[in-house]
Amino acid sequence: MVFTEIDKKTMQILCTLAKLAGPAGEKRDAIVNIGQFLGVPKDDTLELLEEWEEYDIMHLASEEEKRHFVNYCFSYMNKDYHPKKSEREFYQQVVNNLGLTARFDN
């Protein structure tokens, strides 16, 4: 897959989120939301979600790498932000699929 408008790291982040989201189509809106936070237009994120391959994902080996990934992807969910239920659920799903303990109390 080649996306010239999206830098490689951002593309890998979104593809990794797609894998962690489960079956195709699940949590699409949450991934689009994160993509927009990362500066990726909605249409580009939707296209990426249709075309990503297994080799496009990040390989997060250590707990530190996994925590950094989660903190980066969900950094917009700070104390002044009130996430929707679907955003909290997606956060929890990503944390669980990475084998981490959630640190989100809202």
74 burial (CB, 10 Å; 0-12 / 13-18 / 19+) is: buried
Regions of the chain short of the pLDDT cut 70: 1-5, 24-25, 102-106
pLDDT at 94: 93
Q: Are the C-beta atoms of residues 98 and 69 closer than 8 Å to each other?
A: yes
State residue 81's pLDDT score.
82
Distance from the first to the final alpha carbon of the chain: 37
pLDDT score of 103 = 63
Residue 25: its pLDDT value, please? Answer: 67
Distance CA 33, CA 21 (A): 13
pTM over 0.95? The answer is no
Q: How many CA atoms lie within 13 A of 14 on its CB side?
A: 31
**pLDDT of the residue at 2:** 46
User: What is the maximum span of the chain, computed from C-alpha positions, in angstroms?
Assistant: 38
Quick one: tokens of 96?
């669980």
**Distance in angstroms (rounded) separating the CA atoms of residues 36 and 12:** 15
